[in-house]
Amino acid sequence: MARSPSSRSAPLGIWLIAVLGAVGAVADLLGGLGVLGAGVGGFFGGTVAIAFALVKLFVLVNLVRLRGWAWALTLLVYAISFVLALLTLNLLGALLSGLVAAYVYSVREYFR
């Protein structure tokens, strides 16, 4: 049974998205650290990967805290990911991004 938005506890689906996203962000962080020493391109790419991983972790923590801006940013990121996956014919990626975006949108009342 779903909890009312007034209880201010994130739904299980949001927790799952946050935990799985955090695992991916940690992997991105480690990958970024791994390429830092690979020349100028590696340094630039590693720095960008580390920055995005840290931003992702920050957004995911605030998504669980039910911040409205984190909800909007999560929707934007997964919508862009959906479009990019379609353009690259990554149908599984498009399906997963679309499902995450649809779920996050469906629980919008928790973020008011």
Looking at the chain, how many residues does it have?
112
Q: At 39, is the pLDDT very low, low, confident or very high (cuts 50, 70, 90)?
A: confident
Question: What mean pLDDT is predicted for residues 59-65?
Answer: 95
Q: How many domains does the chain have?
A: 2
Asked if residue 3 is part of any domain, the answer here is no
Whole-number average pLDDT of the chain: 89
Under 8 Å between Cβ of 60 and 53: no
pLDDT band at 1 (very low <50, low <70, confident <90, very high): very low
Indicate whether 99 belongs to any domain.
yes
> Would you say residue 6 lies in a domain?
no
8-state DSSP, 7: G
| pTM: predicted TM-score of the whole model, two decimal places | 0.79
By residue range, what is the domain housing residue 74?
Answer: 68-106
76 token code pair: 């934007």
How large is the average pLDDT for residues 28-48? 88
With respect to residue 37, please indicate whether it lies within any of the assigned structural domains: yes
Helices 91-106 and 12-35, packing angle to 10 deg: 130
